[in-house]
């Protein structure tokens, strides 16, 4: 029977085997480290995502709302809130405890989409605001320029009025306009106003009165030559309204007397009708005045003259007035 010879590896074979085992061990170690590294990376990513969710909520809603939630005793989530925790820490703990990784990823995606939209809208609003601000600045500049021009025109106008007032004698102008005997009372009253109460306001009244009177003096012959006196009354009613409009909100101490003199002058041209100044009295007369529905109970100024029939004193036209 043949004897079996026991195999004994030599030193080179032993060395080769040890080397193979070492390589296998190193490979397994590297694979383990790789798995552990990936797990660490995944964990870090999950932590970063959770922090991003919290940051996004705080960016959207601000810090105060979460401080209020943390301090609300009616909200009981998880462990008892530590007094030392901030609102951010409290909310971070709530997110870490109750929201899964999958929901965190979905929530973060949705929040980022909302924030992106808000950022775009914010940029658009900033651009629009900048545009409107620029337009407002241009308008303000234009307004300032117009105000400067207006001030300059006002100064120039005042200077011209003063220059005209110094060069033109109102007494001579009045004398040239009111030449007839029937106009003598008007001339006297206006001359008194010019001499005794001279000034810018008086000058404006006299010029306005003369403008209105010129219209009346042209209309009187037309009205007086009309065979139908009622038609003549209508013609002069328009001219008298023009006079009152010219002197509206302008006054001199002789204003009331001047209007009464105008009424007498016009009445003298008619057989059947008499004109009455709307400012003959400061008290409202329901027989003469067309009283507005609301307001005061005194005559402020006239808008038109009243007209009555001379024979029976019946009112033919009521005087329109402003009251206070």
Residue 173's pLDDT is 84
- Report pLDDT for 33: 53
Q: How many CB atoms lie within 10 A of CB 315?
A: 17
- pLDDT for 120-132, tens place per residue? 888 888 888 888 8
Buried b (16+ CB within 10 A) or exposed e, 153-183: eeeeeeeeeeeeeeeeebeeebeebbeeeeb
Tell me what pLDDT residue 267 has. Answer: 95
pLDDT at 316 over 90: yes
Residues 1, 323: Cα–Cα separation, whole Å: 155
Helix (H, G, I), strand (E, B) or coil at 80: coil
State residue 71's pLDDT score. Answer: 77
- pLDDT of 75 > 90? The answer is no
**Residue 40 — very low, low, confident or very high, per pLDDT cuts 50/70/90?**
very low
pLDDT bracket for residue 14 (50, 70, 90): low
Contact, 301 vs 249, CB < 8 A?
yes
| Domain chopping of the chain, boundaries | 43-68+81-167, 169-323
Nearest to 108 by CA among 176, 47, 34, 63: 47
Burial zone of 4 (CB within 10 Å; 0-12 exposed, 13-18 middle, 19+ buried): exposed
Angstrom distance (rounded) from CA 231 to CA 229: 5
Contacts of 318 (CB under 8 A, 6+ apart): 288, 289, 290, 306
Question: What is the reported pTM?
Answer: 0.51
Whether the CB-CB separation of 246 and 212 falls below 8 Å is answered with yes
Say yes or no to pLDDT of 5 above 60.
no
pLDDT of residue 285: 93
Across 28-32, 171-175, 236-240, the highest mean pLDDT is recorded for: 236-240
143: three-class secondary structure by DSSP: helix
Please state, rounded to an integer, the average pLDDT across all residues of the chain: 81
* pLDDT higher at 254 or 68: 254
pLDDT: which is higher, 39 or 287: 287
Q: Contact at 8 Å (CB) between 171 and 235?
A: no
pLDDT in tens, 176-221: 899 999 999 999 999 999 888 778 889 899 999 999 999 999 998 8
Q: What angle do CA 267, 268, 273 make, to 5 degrees?
A: 40
Region 276-291: what's the mean pLDDT? Answer: 93
Whether residue 258 has pLDDT greater than 80:
yes
Q: Quick one: which of 204, 144, 216 has its CA closest to 177?
A: 216
């Amino acid at each position: 029977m043949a004897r079996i010879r026991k195999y004994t590896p030599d030193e080179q074979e032993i060395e080769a085997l040890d080397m193979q085992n070492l390589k296998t061990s190193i490979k397994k170690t590297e694979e383990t480290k790789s798995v552990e590294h990936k797990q660490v990376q995944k964990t870090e990513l999950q932590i970063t995502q959770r922090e991003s969710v919290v940051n996004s909520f705080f960016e959207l809603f601000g810090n105060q709302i979460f401080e209020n939630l943390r301090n609300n005793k009616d909200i009981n989530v998880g462990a008892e809130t530590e007094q030392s925790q901030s609102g951010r820490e409290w909310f971070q703990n709530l997110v870490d405890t109750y929201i899964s990784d999958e929901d965190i990823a979905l929530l973060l995606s949705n929040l980022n989409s909302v924030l992106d939209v808000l950022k775009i809208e914010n940029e658009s609003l900033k651009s629009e605001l900048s545009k409107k601000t620029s337009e407002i600045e241009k308008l303000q500049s234009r307004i300032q320029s117009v105000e400067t021009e207006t001030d300059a025109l006002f100064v120039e106008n005042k200077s011209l009025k003063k220059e005209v007032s110094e060069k033109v004698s109102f007494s001579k102008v009045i004398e040239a306009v009111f030449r007839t005997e029937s106009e003598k009372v008007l001339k006297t009253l206006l001359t008194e106003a010019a001499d005794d109460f001279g000034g810018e306001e008086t000058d404006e009244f006299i010029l306005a009165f003369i403008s209105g009177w010129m219209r009346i003096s042209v209309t009187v012959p037309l009205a007086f030559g009309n065979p139908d006196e009622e038609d003549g009354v209508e013609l002069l009613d328009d001219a008298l309204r023009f006079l009152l409009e010219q002197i509206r909100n302008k006054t001199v101490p002789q204003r009331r007397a001047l209007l009464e003199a105008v009424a007498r002058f016009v009445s003298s041209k008619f057989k059947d009708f008499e004109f009455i100044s709307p400012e003959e009295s400061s008290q409202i007369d329901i027989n003469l005045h067309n009283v507005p529905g609301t307001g005061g109970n005194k005559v402020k100024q006239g808008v038109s003259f009243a007209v009555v029939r001379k024979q029976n004193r019946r009112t033919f036209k009521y005087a329109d007035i402003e009251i206070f």
